Amino acid sequence: MAILVDARSRILIQGITGETGRAYAARMVAAGTPLVGGTSPGKAGQAVEGVPVFATIAEAVAATGADCVLSSVRPAAALAAMTEVFEAGIRVAVLYTENVPVHDAMRMRALARARGACLLGPNSAGVISPGRANLADLNDARVRAGRIGVVSKSGTLTYEVIDGLHAEGLGESTVVCLGGDPVVGTGFAEILRLFEADPGTDAVVLVGEPGGAMEHEAAAVVRTMRKPVVAYVTGQRAPPAKRMGHAGAVSGAGAEATTAAAKLAALRSAGCTGVDIVTDVGAAMVAALAARRGAHAS
C-alpha cells in the first residue's frame, strides 16, 4: 500500500514533448511507472517513449482514464495548465515548475481544493511510491519499497533522509515533496492524515523548513496520530531574514514562531521524535519504531 500514487495510477505528463517531459517519460517507462500518455498542443497523434501524445488533458483523460499528472510547463503557463488539469478531473497533480507567481499559486491551490484534488507544488520534486509509481525527481534505483512515509518541502534533502532509512534496513511506502514555494497546494497536515490512514505505512519522517506555519498545523495533526513521526526542520542555524534558497524559507525577524527552532520544538511537544541534523533521522526512526513496539508489547 501507499498514498496518492501506486501501480494502479494512470499517469500523464503535461508537456511531454519538451526536454524535461521527455526525460521524465524515459525514466518512468524504464522503471515501470504506469505512464499512459502525455499532452503537447499541436503534437497530438505523436508518441513519446511508446505512449500517445494528446492535445489536451481532457482528451487524454477520455482516451486513457488518466488520474494523475506531472507538469513541467514554463512558469507563465502554469496557471492555465493547472486549470486545464483540474477541470479535466485529475486527482493528483505534481507541478515541478519553479518561479511560478504567487498569485497564480494561490489560484491553482483554490482550484484544486474546489475540485477535491491534490496539488503538489509549485516547485515540487513530486511523489514516489517505490516500485509502484514515480512522479518524482527521485531515482527509482535510490529508493526502496518499505513501510516508512516521508513528507518534505525539499526534494534533494529527501535523498539524504532516504539513504539514512536504508542504512537502518528500512524502506519507503511513499515519499511526498510538497514544494519549496511559500504558497503550495498541499501541506504537511493533509499528508500526515493520509499516512496515518495508510495500512502500508508504519511511521513517518517529516522534513520542514523555516517560514510560515505549516509545521505548526502538522504538530496539531501529530497529536491525533497513532503512528510515530520523526521530525527534522532545516535551517536550525539559519540567520533570520536571510533567504536560504527556497523562496518559502525566510524566517522573518520578529516572527518567532516561523523559525526552524520554534517549529521543531512544537513538533517535539506534539510527540514527534525531533532531530537536529538530518543524518540522525535513520537512527531516530529505529528508536521510534522500537519504542512503539515496546508500548504495544506492554
Partner 1 sequence: MIRLLEHEGKALLGRRGFAIPEGALFPGLPPTGPWVVKAQVPVGGRGKAGGIRFAATTDEVRAAADAVARLVIGGHDVRAVYVERRVPPGREVYLAAHVDRDLGCPVMLACPAGGVDIEAVPHERIARVAVDPLAGLGDEDAAMLARALSPDGPPPPALRRAVADLYRTLVEEDAELVEINPLIVGADGTVTAADARLILDEDAAFRHPGRRAIPEGTAFEEEARRRGVIGIELDGDIAAMMNGAGMTMATLDQLVAMGGSVRGLVELHGAMARGPDHLAGVVALMASLRPRVLLFNIYFQFRNLDTVAEGIARAIHAAGPGGLPPVVVRIRGVREAEARRILEPLDCWVTDDFARACARAIELSGRPVLRR
Q: Which residues are catalytic?
A: 246
- Cα 47–Cα 177–Cα 182 angle in degrees, nearest 5: 110
Candidate list 26, 46, 87, 99; residue touching partner 1; CB under 8 A: 99
Q: How far is the CB of 241 from partner 1 (least distance, A)?
A: 10
Beta carbon of residue 65, minimum distance to partner 1 (angstroms, whole number): 28
Nearer to partner 1, 34 or 187 (CB): 187
Q: How far is the CB of 63 from partner 1 (least distance, A)?
A: 29
Kindly tell me which of 277 and 295 has the beta carbon lying closer to partner 1: 277
Among 1, 76, 197, 220, binds partner 1 (CB under 8 A): 76
Cα(298)–Cα(235) distance, integer angstroms: 38
Under 8 Å between Cβ of 149 and 3: yes
Selected from 10, 58, 75, 283, the binder of partner 1 by CB under 8 A is 75
Least spacing, CB of residue 182 vs partner 1, in Å: 4
Q: Which residue's C-alpha cell is 526534494?
A: 155
Q: What one-letter code names the amino acid at 4? A: L
DSSP 181: S
Name the residue among 209, 200, 185, 195 with its Cα closest to residue 267.
Answer: 209
Interface stretch with partner 1, choices 87-95, 151-159, 198-206, 265-273 (CB under 8 A): 151-159
Tell me the window of 2-10, 54-62, 245-253, 287-295 that interacts with partner 1 (CB under 8 A): 245-253
Q: Which residue has the cell 525577524?
A: 253
CA atoms within 13 A on the CB side of 252: 7
Cα distances from 148 to residues 52, 112, 203, 271, in angstroms, run 34, 27, 5, 17
Would you count residue 142 as binding partner 1 (CB under 8 A)? yes
User: Is residue 226 close enough to count as binding partner 1 by CB under 8 A?
Assistant: no
Does 103 bind partner 1 (CB under 8 A)? Our answer is yes
- How many Cβ atoms are within 10 Å of 179's Cβ, its own excluded? 30
Asked if residue 94 binds partner 1 (CB under 8 A), the reply is no
Looking at residues 154 to 183 of the shown chain, list those that interact with partner 1 (rule: CB under 8 A): 154-160, 163, 180, 182-183
Closer Cβ to partner 1, 17 or 236, answer by number:
236
Coil, strand or helix: which one is 166? helix
CA angle, corner 250, sides to 128 and 172, nearest 5?
20
Residue 110: CB atoms within 10 A of its CB come to 13
Determine the size of the site formed for partner 1 (CB under 8 A).
63
Considering the rule CB under 8 A, would residue 245 count as an interface residue with partner 1? yes
Q: Which is nearer to partner 1, 60 or 120 (CB)?
A: 120
From residue 52, how far is each of 13, 38, 73, 162, 169 by CA, in Å? 11, 6, 18, 33, 39
Under rule CB under 8 A, residue 269 binds partner 1:
no
CB-based contacts of 20, cutoff 8 Å, min separation 6: 72, 96
Check binding of 20 to partner 1 (CB under 8 A): no
Residues interacting with partner 1, by CB under 8 A?
Answer: 23, 75-76, 99-107, 109-111, 114, 137-139, 142, 152-160, 163, 180, 182-184, 207, 209-214, 217, 232, 234-239, 242-249, 254, 260, 276-279
